[in-house]
Structure 1
Amino acid sequence: MRTQNELYRLVQGDRRTVERLIKHGRERYPDKPEQWIWEKVIADLERDRGYR
């Protein structure tokens, strides 16, 4: 749940954006667990925004 809250925070609560990012993650990494996908989406978003 903490991971989900973090992603929602990063996209300023935009549910459609979260759904799109997670859907893309599921399609790209179908064999990975759900938690891993959420963490990967967050890491990629932070990387792309220059947070890390």
Structure 2
Amino acid sequence: IALRNVAEAHGGIGNLAKRTGMGRESLYKTLSQKGNPKWHTLVSLVIALGLNLRLS
């Protein structure tokens, strides 16, 4: 849900779909409360949003 809020703040899901090459409907499902994105999808979204991901 938090990543969806960030996506909305950065131009919306449609804009993010264009930047990642992913389908808009697929992104809505991925970023929903029941969404369970694969690792490569999560990394693609983080990069497209200009965020950093740190694991520790």
Q: TM range, normalised to the smaller chain? A: 0.3 to 0.5
TM-score (norm 1): 0.48
TM-score (norm 2): 0.45
Relative to its length, the structure with more helix (as a share) is: 1
